[in-house]
Structure 1
């Protein structure tokens, strides 16, 4: 049954991006052309954005309780990044569609090949894209389900908490900390608030999964295209046993140049769309990871610790995947220069050798995605963010211990 469902996500016209584009359309990031569904999606987007604003309003009412405040912050800041992702995707819809069309066109062009190594490379990165897409969806919705069932579990499994709620000493635990214009501590009010919060969590989860997996698959494609370009550059003059004429070699060289120029153009466009979001997300991740780590240490319930740890894993994985794939692209760009050197340039005339030198000079640049104008997205950057989050966590823990001792 699961295989049948996943097969429906595939598309012959989009063999690489099929499931990702369908997810973008399902969650309304790629808006339909018809006005009615288009306006309906815009309304849903607006409602979730308003809901995110109510999460900030609720901070005012819970600011005296450090645990409630941290719980609010770790989810609210993640929701804020999701809102920014959607708003920028809608605002730059033309750019995103252009990137998706380029990736699909370039991918289809490379799949028509008899080269065994290229076929294996394409199959490898396609399988990888499917795995990372489906695993990320699973991780995201596991997190959403955990967030939704936490209040039910706490009420059912902890008699002390249940008694405190019944006598009014403690409020009901919320799915997501948000403000509503009615009393959340009555049973009807709590159920209504939980329904609203659950809907926002599910829809927000759809935003995150569709945007992130689409971006990640595009990053994987860029790396794969560099690897395929390296293979084609090595075959510009044919092989020692089967050399090609100067005219054919000239056509191949110009094709490699054209592909590289087009690839760089769309990498830069993609980076311009993603970079502002990554800058915000680096800051948000530090706060979110710090808050979640602190909650794990102060939580007394083993199950609550487990649930909070899963949320921490999701937060770390979300940032790590971006840094990892950007790091992969960086090293693939460094290896691209070896492609022309692998060709049979040494037995050609000086004019062909000069053309190869020009191509090598063009390839002699590193490619890496950025987080604003301040830093690159690499594994080293990810480690620095973890170090920063740990420093904030230590500072927060020490301040709380000082407050308790006084």
Structure 2
């Protein structure tokens, strides 16, 4: 049952107009990097991309405020560097959208042209590299999905699995677990600010992972 659903999902990502790039283009569209569709959709996604940029700034503000704690700074930097890559990719696709679409269109145009020739050698070669790219693409997507899931769950798994850690938090010896570290204009280590921080971290982590994956 699960296998059939996975196969159905992967088949739905195929696009006859884009034999090689179908899943990639649909992934880019889903995360707002392939900006076709209504103007309202583009505006909403661009606002979301801008909030991602602001979130990255808040990460570096937190690093600056924590500059005297070397361990925390090093931990934060590992995620902040990935955030910079994510923002850079967003900017690249938004600002050079026409060039990216032109490149994809030329690749698909050439593939469709070759398919019309019905050359067995060419068809065999196209099937071979398409199968290879699908395997790499889906494996990478799965890897990023699992990584993001572990990023979200790891603080809470640590909290649930260690009684001494929970006691230290209750006594104030350890800070409440965070998914990521960023600056907020409110206290993110106490309710209800903590819930807001967790929700924002989940959204930003998932969006960032998606952008990096596609």
Q: Does 1:133 align with 2:137?
A: yes
Uncovered stretches (5+) of structure 2, i.e. residues with no partner? none
3-state SS, counterpart of residue 16 of structure 1: coil
Distance of 1:185 and 1:13 partners within structure 2: 50
Which residue of 1 is the match for residue 104 of structure 2? 100
Distance of 2:154 and 2:68 partners within structure 1: 22
Q: Which of 13, 24, 28 is the equivalent residue of 1:9? A: 13
1:9 shift after superposition: 0.8
Q: Is residue 113–residue 119 contact of structure 1 (8 Å, CA) maintained in 2? A: no
| Aligned pairs for 1:297-336 within 5 A | none
Q: Does 1:171 align with 2:178?
A: no
Which residue of 1 is the match for residue 26 of structure 2? 22
Aligned residues: CA RMSD: 1.3
Q: Which of 145, 151, 154 is the equivalent residue of 2:149? A: 145
The aligned length equals 210
Q: Which of 167, 176, 193 is the equivalent residue of 1:189? A: 193
Which residue of 1 is the match for residue 210 of structure 2? 206
| Aligned pairs for 1:49-60 within 5 A | 49-60=53-64
> TM-score of the superposition, structure 1-length normalised?
0.50
1:33 shift after superposition: 4.2
Note the alpha carbon deviations across 1:279-336, whole angstroms, 9 max, x for none: xxxxxxxxxxxxxxxxxxxxxxxxxxxxxxxxxxxxxxxxxxxxxxxxxxxxxxxxxx
CA distance 1:33–1:119, shift in 2 (3 Å)? closer
Q: Relative to structure 2, which stretch is displaced further, 186-195 or 20-29?
A: 186-195
Uncovered stretches (5+) of structure 1, i.e. residues with no partner? 211-406
Q: Relative to structure 2, which stretch is displaced further, 65-74 or 146-155?
A: 65-74
Note the alpha carbon deviations across 1:224-276, whole angstroms, 9 max, x for none: xxxxxxxxxxxxxxxxxxxxxxxxxxxxxxxxxxxxxxxxxxxxxxxxxxxxx
Larger radius of gyration: 1
> TM-score of the superposition, structure 2-length normalised?
0.93
